[in-house]
């Protein structure tokens, strides 16, 4: 049930930041993000336009790329620990609440799930569901039920 009280975007940002801090440990998110960055695993995009690419040309990478210096385990752990030590609680900026880009989306939208999902070890929809579940009791008197966009 909603009341006639009007809530602004600043209030929504505060509530989302509170929910993010209740759900996720900023230190764990920072650790996972740093680890992912150091591991450098990138998705390979399939080249649908050219199926018959010359294999020898595709395998010829510049020598600089192949001979990147490796980071020692001690250096790697030091970088990860620095990320953990620098982690701060989520803020209203991390909430990523903006006015909705399309009127059919409502008044506000929150894109935090897209940026947090990988570091939280979740897919974006699972991450969004956790956020909505945490928000529900905090906002039920002030606004309508949040909806998760996408497939």
pTM value?
Answer: 0.76
For 110-151, how does the pLDDT look when each residue is reduced to its tens digit (9 = 90+)?
Answer: 999 999 999 999 999 999 999 999 999 999 999 998 999 886
Q: What is the pLDDT of residues 112-122, one digit of tens each?
A: 999 999 999 99
Q: Give yes or no for residue 11 having a pLDDT over 50.
A: yes
Which string of b and e fits 12-37 if b means at least 16 CB within 10 Å?
bbbbbbbbbeebbebeebbbbbbeee
Mean pLDDT of the chain: 84
- 3-class SS shares of the chain: helix, strand, coil, % to 5: 55, 5, 40
Backbone angle region of 3, left / alpha / beta, with phi > 0 → left and psi within -120 to 50 → alpha = beta
CB 5 within 8 A of CB 140: no
- Across the strands, what pairs with 108? 99
pLDDT for 48:
52
* CA-to-CA dists, residue 136 to 16, 25, 132, angstroms: 10, 20, 6
Question: Cα–Cα distance between 13 and 108 in angstroms, integer?
Answer: 10
pLDDT on residue 7: 80
- What's the token pair of residue 39? 């591991």
* Burial group, residue 76, by CB count within 10 angstroms (0-12, 13-18, 19+): middle
pLDDT digit string, tens, across residues 36-74: 999 886 555 555 554 444 444 445 555 545 556 788 999
């Amino acid at each position: 049930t909603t009341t006639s009280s009007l809530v602004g975007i600043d209030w929504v940002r505060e509530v989302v930041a509170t929910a993010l801090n209740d759900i996720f440990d900023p230190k764990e998110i920072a650790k996972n993000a740093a680890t992912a960055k150091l591991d450098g695993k990138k998705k390979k995009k399939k080249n649908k336009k050219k199926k018959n690419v010359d294999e020898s040309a595709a395998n010829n990478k510049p020598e600089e790329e192949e001979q990147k210096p490796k980071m020692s385990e001690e250096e790697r752990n030091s970088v990860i620990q620095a990320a953990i030590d620098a982690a701060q609680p989520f803020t209203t900026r991390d909430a990523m609440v903006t006015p909705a880009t399309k009127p059919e989306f409502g008044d506000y939208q929150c894109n935090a799930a897209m940026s947090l999902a990988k570091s939280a070890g979740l897919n974006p929809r699972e991450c969004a569901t956790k956020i909505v579940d945490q928000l529900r009791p905090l906002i039920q008197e002030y606004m309508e039920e949040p909806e998760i966009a996408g497939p």
